Amino acid sequence: MDPKKLRELLEQVGKGGLTIDDARTGLRDLPFADLGYAMVDHHRALRQGVPEVILGEGKTADHIVGITEELARRDVNTLITRLDPAKAEAVRERLPAVRYHAVSRIATLEVRPIPSLGRSPVAVICAGTSDAPVAEEACETLRMLGASVERVYDVGVAGVHRLLARRAVFERCSVAIVVAGMEGALPSAVGGMVSIPVIAVPTSVGYGAALGGLAALASMLTSCASGVTVCNIDNGFGAAFAAARILQSASRY
């Protein structure tokens, strides 16, 4: 249950349009619903402003369907991350309204309009097309969180003139998410160009000594550009969630 729905319910009680017993029935699954295999957190939207997100990796299709149905029953949009194509097909057979985004490995079920964060866009910048799956995970997560996105792709430091040519994009954005593998230098380049928050995401793209993204992670953690924040390897979702929190905080003032 999100804050708006709770407020509407309490207003109905205050106006006498809803009895206390009926309101209690409406709140019976707050703060969570026990499905036996999962404790679905219906209180998260009240605490964080965003409903529970399903990590598809490691879950069976049956469990994903059950959790999704429980969230939808409470009129909640659902975001499922790290969902492989075979499992996505099994989920969509049971829930045809679910949309699957193959590049990002994200599935979504939208049962209500997504409220806009009402701020300027988030720039999602990636070094090369090999980094696009992680960047797209961030983009699709941002969309479900109500943020608009400006994509700036394939602008790695091997051809830094490509990045400089897109500088005007950054000036109309509130946050930048920078996704890069190999040596992970792109966030430092962006961080030296802009005044907005920069969230760096290392990817596991790269040859041997890239060590599955550890080289990019270390490079980003030791960035010479001040104030660059670093997420875990391949964690486009985490970067998008952090960016949305920045936007939410800014909208309060």
* 166 in a structural domain: yes
Q: 105 and 129, same structural domain?
A: no
pLDDT digit string, tens, across residues 110-119: 988 888 887 7
Same domain, 185 and 243: yes
198-249 confidence digits (pLDDT tens): 999 999 999 999 999 999 999 999 999 998 999 999 999 999 999 999 998 7
Looking at residues 10-15, what average pLDDT do you find? 71
Q: Examine residue 185 and state whether it is found in any structural domain, yes or no.
A: yes
Residue 54 within any structural domain of the chain: yes
Cα gap 16→55, rounded to integer Å: 41
Same domain, 127 and 102: no
Same domain for 80 and 183? no
97: containing domain: 31-109
- Give yes or no: residues 224 and 128 share one domain: yes
Mean pLDDT estimate for the chain: 87
71 lies in the same domain as 159: no
The better pLDDT of the pair 11, 138 is held by 138
**Structural domain contains residue 55:** yes
7 domain-assigned: no
Cβ atoms of 45 and 2 closer than 8 Å: yes
pLDDT at residue 39 is higher than 60: yes
Residue 196 φ/ψ, nearest 5 degrees:
-80, 160
pLDDT in tens, 145-193: 999 999 999 999 989 899 988 988 998 999 999 999 999 999 999 999 9
CB 140 within 8 A of CB 109: no
Distances (CA, A) of 166 to 43, 123, 178, 190, 234: 41, 11, 14, 11, 24
Task: Check if the beta carbon of residue 210 is closer than 8 Å to that of residue 216.
Answer: yes
Indicate whether 136 and 105 sit together in one domain: no
* Together in a domain, 86 and 137: no
User: Does residue 1 belong to any structural domain of this protein?
Assistant: no
117: in domain? no
| Residue 139 sits in the same domain as residue 201 | yes
Residue 121 has a pLDDT of 93
What pLDDT, on a 0 to 100 scale, did the predictor assign at position 29? 54
pTM exceeds 0.85:
no
Of 46, 81, 109, at which residue does a domain stop?
Answer: 109
- Together in a domain, 35 and 153: no
Domain count, the chain: 2
Residue 14 lies in a domain: no
Kindly state the helix (H) or strand (E) to which residue 32 belongs, with its residue range: strand 32-34
Q: Which residues of 206-221 are buried (b: 16+ CB within 10 A; e: fewer)?
A: beeebebbebbbebbe
CATH number at residue 161: 3.40.50.1970
Q: Which of 109, 134, 168 is the last residue before a domain boundary?
A: 109
CA distance 65 to 90: 9
79 and 148 fall within a common domain: no
- φ/ψ of residue 122, rounded to 5: -100, 130
> Cβ of 251: how many Cβ atoms within 10 Å?
10
135 plus 206 within the same structural domain: yes
Tell me which of 54, 78, 109 is where a domain ends: 109
How much is the pLDDT for 43? 60
